[in-house]
Structure 1
Amino acid sequence: MNIMQEFFPFFLVLFVGVFFSDIFRRLHMPWVIALLLGGILIGPDVLGIFEVDGTIKFIGEIGLVFLMFMAGLETRLSTFKTYRKGLLILALLNGLIPMAVGIGIGVFFGYSLTISILIGIIFVSSSIAVVIPSLEANNMIETKLGGLIMGAAIVEDILSLVLLSILLQTINTTAAVPLPIFYGLLVTGLIVLRLLLPKIQWFFSNSIQNSRDLFQQELRSVFVILIGTVIIFELLGLHPIIAGFFAGLVLSDTLKSEVLLGKIRAISYGIFIPTFFIIVGAETNISVFSQADGVLLLTFMIVAGSVISKLASGWLGGRLIGFDNRDAITIGMSKIPQLSTTLAVAFTGAKLGLLPEELVTAMVILSIITTFVGPLFIRFSRPVRRKETLTRHMA
C-alpha cells in the first residue's frame, strides 16, 4: 500500500506527460498546454486524484532549474553580435512598456508596490521556446526579422530575470555583500566560468579513451557544472532559477555536439520539466473565480494588458528600427507568447509568498492563452512576400 502511494503520483505525472501530450500533438497544439491542463484536471479542483508530495515537489523544483538552464543553453550569444543594431531598442521598448502596464494593473487592483512590480517583471518576459518553432514554421528563422525577434526575446528574458534578482535581493537581502559588489562578483564569476569551461571539460574527459565512455563523461560533466554553478551562486544569494539560466547561458556557445545536446534535452524534457508544468497546473486554484470577487476581471486585465502591450510595443519598436508596418506587426505578434520565464517567475513569487494565488492562477491562464494564440497570430501576420525580400534590411 505504501509503495502504491509513493509511486502513484509519479505514475500520474508520466501518464499526463505521455497521454495528454500525444493528444495535443495530434491537435497541433503546444505540449506545454497539455501538461498545464492535465495538471489542472488531475489536481484538487477537478478530479482530485493527484497530490504533490515531497518527492514530486523536489523533482518539480529540479525541473524548474532545468527549464531555465535549457532556456539559457538554447540562447545563442552570437545573435547579439549579428543583430545588435536596433536589438537593444526593440528589447527595451518591448520589455519596459509592458512592465509599466503590469505595474499599473497591479496598482489599479490595490496590490502593494512589491507585488505590482513583480507583475510588471512577469510582463517583461517572453518565450523563446515558442518563438523559435513559430519562426521556423514560417521560414523566418534565417532572416534579419527572425534574428531580431529571437534576440529581443532573449534580452527580455534576461532583463526579466535580472529585475527579479534585484527585487528579491531588495526585499530579502539574502546576499552576503552589498548589491553593487554582489553583481560585480556575479559578472566576474560568469566570465571566469566561461573561460574555464574548456579546461573543466578537458579535465573530465582527458583520461577517457573509449568514445562511448567519453560521451557519458561529457554528459555528466555538464550536470556537474550546472549543479555546481547553482550551488555557488545560491550561496552568494542568487535564486536557483536565475543561476540555472546563467549556467545554461555560459554553456550555450561551448557545447557543439548535437548528440550531447539531444541527450541533455531528452533528460530535461523527458521527466524534470514536464513534472514542473504538471505541478504548476495541479497547484493552480481555479476555484478562486467563485471564491473571490473581481478575479475574472483581474485575469481578463492581465491577459489583455500583456497581449496589447506586447503587440503595441513590438510594433512600435519595429517601426523605430526601420521595418515596414507588416514586419513591425509580425514583431509585435511574435512577442505575445509568455511561457517558461513567466511561469518560472510566477512560481518563484508564489513559493516566496509574494504572489497571491489569484495572481498565480491569472498567470497560468495567461501562459495557456498566449502560448496557444501566439503562433496562430505569427502565422496570420506572416508576410506573404518571398523569403528573400525579408532580408533586404541586411544590406
Structure 2
Amino acid sequence: MVFLGSLCLILVFTKVAGHLCNRIGVPAVIGELLVGIILGPAILGWIQPDAFIHYFAEIGVVILMFIAGLESDLALLRKYWKPALSVALLGIVFPMVFGFGMGELFGMAFQSSIFLGVLFSATSVSISVQVLKDLNKVDSKEGATILGAAVVDDIVVVILLGVLVSLFNTGGGDSQPLPFMLMKKVIFFIVIFVLARWVVPMLMKISSKMLTIEAETAMALIICLAFSYFADFMGMGSIIGAFFAGIAISQTPYKHKIEKKIEPIGYAVFIPVFFVSIGLNMDFSGFGEQWLFILLLTVVAVLTKQFGGAIGARVTGFNWKSAAVIGAGMVSRGEMALIIAKLGLESNLLTEEFYSSIIVVIIATTVIAPFILKYTITKQDESLKLN
C-alpha cells in the first residue's frame, strides 16, 4: 500500500505549495512542479515515477485537457474572430520558426526541432486572465482578443501536435504509409465533428433525464474517455480527443454545470499528480552544459510570442500600445506547454537530454508573463491619461 502514502504526500505538499505560490503571486502550477522535483529522484527520492503515478498522471492530463476544451468560448471567438485569428496564427508562426531554429542550432534531431517549435507555439492564458481580472481589463477589446486568440491557438496547436505525433510515429507502433495516416486524420475530424454536432447533445439530454446520481457528470466523463480512446486509436493522442470532447460539451446547455462538477474531481487529486509527475522526471545533471540553451530559448520563447501576437493585433487595427498588451497576454506557456512536453518525452519526440531544460524555460515564461502584461497595461493606461 505504498502508493497510498505517495498519494498522501503529493496532495499535502501540492496544496501547501499552491497556497504559498498564490500568496506571493506565482502560479500554483509552479509550486506543484517544484514538489515533484523536491520529492522525486532529483533531490529527496521519496516518490518514484512508478506505474501508479503514471496512470494517475494520464487521467490527470486527460481531465485537464477536457477542462481546457470546456472553457473554450467559441461565442467570444466568433465575435472577435479577425483579430483573434491574426494574433493566434502569427503567435504560432513566430515561435514555430524560431523554436525550430533553436533546435537545429543546438543539435537536436529534425523531428525534435519541429516538436520544439510546436511546443513553444502553445499559449496558456489562465495566468494572463487573472492579471486582466485584477486590472479590470477582461471585458476590454484587448482582453476579449486575448481570450479569443487563446481558443484559436489551442485548437491549431492541438491539431499540429496530433499530426506531428502521428506522422513521426515515434511511440513504437508499426509504420504506415503517409496517405493512410492522412486519411485517418481526416476520418478522425469528420467523426469528431459529427459526434460533437449531433450525438453529444443528445447523450447529455438523455443523461439529464436519468434517475441516478450525477448522471450528467458521469456522461460527460464517458464522452471524454470515449473521445480520448478514439483519438489514441486513430494515432492522434488521447489529450487531443479529451480537448475536443470538452469543446463539444461546451456547446451544450450543460457546460457550466459540468465545469463545476469536473473541476473538483480533477484539481483535487488527478491534476496535481500530473504536474508532480513532470517534476519527477527532472534531471539536473546536464544543466551546467545547457545554461546557454536555457537562456537563449527563454528569450526566444518570450519575444516570439510577444512580437507575433503584437504584430497580429496591429495588422487588424489595434494601435501599438494595445497590440503590446495583446502580445504580452499570449506569452505564458503554463500547463499547455507542460502537457505537450510530457507527451513529447513519452513519444520520443523530446529526449531526456533536453527535457529538464525545456521545463525550466516553460516555468520561466510562465513566471515572466504576468509582469510583462502588467507593465504593458500600465503603459497603455498612462498613455490614455495623457491623451
| TM-score, scaled relative to structure 1 | 0.90
- 1:141 counterpart (127, 138, 143): 138
Q: Is the 8 A contact 1:43 1:51 kept in 2?
A: yes
Moved more, 276-285 or 178-187: 178-187
Whether 1:316 and 2:311 are equivalent positions in the alignment is yes
What pairs up with 1:1-395 in 2 under 5 angstroms? 3=1, 5-172=2-169, 173=175, 178-194=180-196, 195-208=198-211, 213=212, 216-256=214-254, 258-290=256-288, 293=289, 295-383=290-378
State the distance in 1 between where 2:195 and 2:35 align: 39
**Distance change in 2, residues 1:33/1:203 (3 Å):** same
Q: Is the 8 A contact 2:10 2:35 kept in 1?
A: no
State the distance in 1 between where 2:140 and 2:177 align: 42
**Distance change in 2, residues 1:24/1:207 (3 Å):** closer
For 1:31, the aligned partner's letter is A
Identity of aligned residues (%): 29
What is the total number of aligned residue pairs between the two structures? 378
Helix, strand or coil: the match of 2:120? helix
**Distance change in 2, residues 1:191/1:317 (3 Å):** same
Moved more, 360-369 or 68-77: 360-369
Helix, strand or coil: the match of 1:178? helix
State the distance in 1 between where 2:224 and 2:162 align: 19
Q: Is the 8 A contact 1:233 1:243 kept in 2?
A: yes
State the distance in 1 between where 2:26 and 2:86 align: 32
* Alpha-carbon distance, 1:177 to partner: 7.4
Helix, strand or coil: the match of 1:382? helix
* Alpha-carbon distance, 1:157 to partner: 2.1
Unaligned runs of 5+ in 1: 390-395
**Distance change in 2, residues 1:296/1:283 (3 Å):** same
| TM-score, scaled relative to structure 2 | 0.92
State the distance in 1 between where 2:132 and 2:320 align: 18
* Alpha-carbon distance, 1:204 to partner: 2.4
* Alpha-carbon distance, 1:270 to partner: 1.2
For 2:273, the aligned partner's letter is T
Show structure 1 runs of 4+ deviating over 6 A. 174-177
State the distance in 2 between where 1:177 and 1:203 align: 39
State the distance in 1 between where 2:273 and 2:136 align: 32
* Alpha-carbon distance, 1:347 to partner: 0.5
Per-residue Cα deviation, 1:289-315 (whole angstroms, up to 9, x for no partner): 14xx3x111111211110111112122
CA RMSD of aligned residues (A): 2.2
